[in-house]
């Protein structure tokens, strides 16, 4: 596929009259700036384009409760009471429900500029807690949803074995999560075989996930990650202060501290949340080339706290963003809240630039970091408009309210910090334009919501 963009975001800056060419596998093979009409003959004409971003943490089924947990009939509502309500919905979602929820969700993500999603999937069994005839039934529902919508997908079948620190086995509300290292590896391999057979390896990948330290013991963590190859490894970590306190009481170490000491972290690892990571722990994450997945709107919605962005930037730690529970499905809002959390904590502006003596573009720094970290989280080459990276593009609507009158050199700042958020005129994944069947997907989603 050939494209000619008036403006394109390349290497952290805007380039003009950019000729782009992708191969049949969906990767960039040719990039030329200041191209003439003759040099770009036959190319699809586009306006202003940027790379797509990876949504590095998703629980698709939780889209069904977005906006429905903001009413409380008790005092002291917190993450743990929210979790009980989430469990009740998790026990009712069928494979068909999951597919319709995820298809609509993934179409929302594409419209808002995510071109790939990392699906942290722990709904493995049927509502009674028994295996489906095909143990991959719920996994295939998500794969089909991604294929229908056109988004790239990294499946992360998730190991979940214990109900808490020192509490082996699962409780009745967690019965659908039951799994073993072998069952998770089988799910991972099934997805990888599907990708290879169907020639979808450019936009379908599979890693593994560990739900949390409270849910999986050391021997199983090591057993799983030692056999999962070079694919991404994701884990929830240090999201809540209670989790930190419980880990300290059980192990004598804080969660990230324990992981650094015991789990042989490397560049495959993506630590989801790490909300309460200390400065020394952030330094340790960076030293072992691991990454953090930050989910600002979910962390705000659940009352988790603020991630220490300024320390992470100072340490040059890699990070990505995710929408987690999907109370928001827009990356500009995630990046804006991430920056605003730092501003509210420090009572300063442009805190993402503090490691650069306060100079530069905050929007540019946030976007570039989220893009690079997202590629690591997905385990695929998605680090921007560059040779051998996946050919994902977002064509910006320059007539949107947020960009009216804004000079082009400030577009990235305005995309993130001026609301209402920008809509994209067109979206391309692996060189192919995404077409939306939004009427049918919307109807299916509404029907599923009514049934649930």
Active site residue 273: yes
pLDDT value at residue 347: 96
Surface-to-core class of residue 72, CB atoms within 10 Å of its CB (0-12 exposed, 13-18 middle, 19+ buried)? exposed
pLDDT of residue 408: 94
Single out the residue of 413, 395, 376 nearest to residue 54, CA to CA: 376
Q: By the 8 A CB rule, do 232 and 156 touch?
A: yes
Determine the pLDDT at residue 422: 67
Q: Which of 124, 234, 236, 324 is catalytic?
A: 324
Q: Is 246 one of the catalytic residues?
A: no
User: Maximum distance among all alpha carbons in the chain?
Assistant: 69
Q: Which of 116, 124, 273, 276 is catalytic?
A: 273
Of 409, 390, 425, 428, the residue nearest 9 (C-alpha): 409
Q: What is the pLDDT of residue 130?
A: 98
Can you identify the CATH homologous superfamily of domain 53-378?
Metal-dependent hydrolases (3.20.20.140)
Kindly report the CA angle at 370 between 263 and 30, in degrees rounded to 5? 110
Domain positions in the chain are: 2-50+386-435, 53-378
Rounded-to-integer distance, Cα 85 and Cα 102, Å: 19
Cα pseudo-dihedral 120, 125, 126, 128, rounded to 10: -120
Mean pLDDT by 10-residue block, N- to C-terminus, for the chain (452 residues)?
A: 97 96 97 95 97 98 93 82 91 98 97 97 98 98 98 98 96 97 98 96 97 98 97 97 97 98 97 98 98 98 95 97 97 97 95 92 97 98 98 96 94 93 88 90 97 95
The yes or no reply on domain 2-50+386-435 and CATH 2.40.10.480 is no
């Amino acid at each position: 596929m050939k494209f000619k963009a008036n403006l394109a975001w390349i290497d952290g800056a805007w380039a003009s009259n950019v000729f782009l060419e992708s191969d049949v596998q969906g990767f960039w093979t040719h990039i030329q700036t200041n191209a003439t009409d003759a040099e770009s003959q036959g190319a699809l004409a586009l306006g202003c384009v940027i790379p797509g971003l990876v949504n590095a943490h998703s629980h698709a089924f939780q889209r069904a409760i977005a906006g429905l947990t903001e009413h409380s009939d008790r005092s002291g509502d917190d993450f743990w009471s929210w979790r009980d309500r989430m469990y009740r919905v998790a026990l009712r979602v069928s494979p068909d429900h999951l597919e319709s929820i995820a298809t609509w969700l993934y179409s929302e993500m594409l419209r808002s500029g995510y071109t790939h999603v990392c699906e942290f999937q722990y709904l493995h069994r049927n509502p009674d807690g028994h295996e489906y005839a095909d143990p991959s039934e719920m996994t295939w529902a998500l794969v089909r949803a991604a294929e229908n919508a056109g988004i790239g997908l990294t499946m992360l079948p998730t190991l979940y074995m214990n109900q808490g620190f020192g509490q082996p086995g699962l409780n009745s509300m967690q019965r659908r999560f039951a799994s073993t290292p072998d069952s998770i590896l089988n799910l991972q391999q099934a997805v990888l075989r599907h990708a290879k057979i169907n020639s979808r390896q450019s936009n379908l990948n599979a890693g593994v996930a560990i739900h949390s330290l409270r849910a999986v013991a050391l021997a199983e963590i090591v057993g799983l990650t030692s056999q999962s190859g070079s694919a991404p490894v994701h884990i929830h970590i240090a999201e809540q202060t209670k989790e930190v306190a419980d880990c300290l009481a059980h192990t004598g170490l804080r969660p990230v501290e324990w992981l650094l000491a015991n789990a042989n972290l490397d560049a495959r690892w993506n630590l989801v949340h790490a909300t309460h990571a200390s400065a020394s722990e952030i330094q340790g994450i960076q030293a072992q080339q691991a990454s953090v997945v930050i989910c600002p709107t979910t962390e705000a919605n659940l009352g988790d706290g603020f991630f220490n962005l300024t320390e992470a930037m100072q340490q040059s730690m890699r990070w990505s963003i995710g929408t987690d529970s999907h109370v928001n499905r827009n990356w500009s809002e995630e990046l804006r809240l991430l920056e605003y959390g730092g501003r509210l904590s420090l009572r300063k502006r442009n805190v993402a630039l503090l490691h650069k003596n306060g100079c530069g573009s905050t929007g540019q720094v946030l976007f570039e970091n989220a893009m690079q970290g997202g590629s690591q989280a997905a385990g695929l080459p998605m680090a921007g408009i560059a040779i051998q990276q996946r050919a994902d593009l977002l064509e910006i609507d320059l007539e949107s309210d947020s960009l009216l009158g804004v000079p082009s050199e400030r577009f990235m700042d305005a995309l993130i910090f001026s609301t209402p958020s920008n809509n994209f005129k067109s979206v391309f994944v692996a060189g192919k334009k995404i077409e939306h069947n939004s009427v049918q997907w919307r109807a299916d989603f509404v029907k599923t919501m009514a049934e649930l």
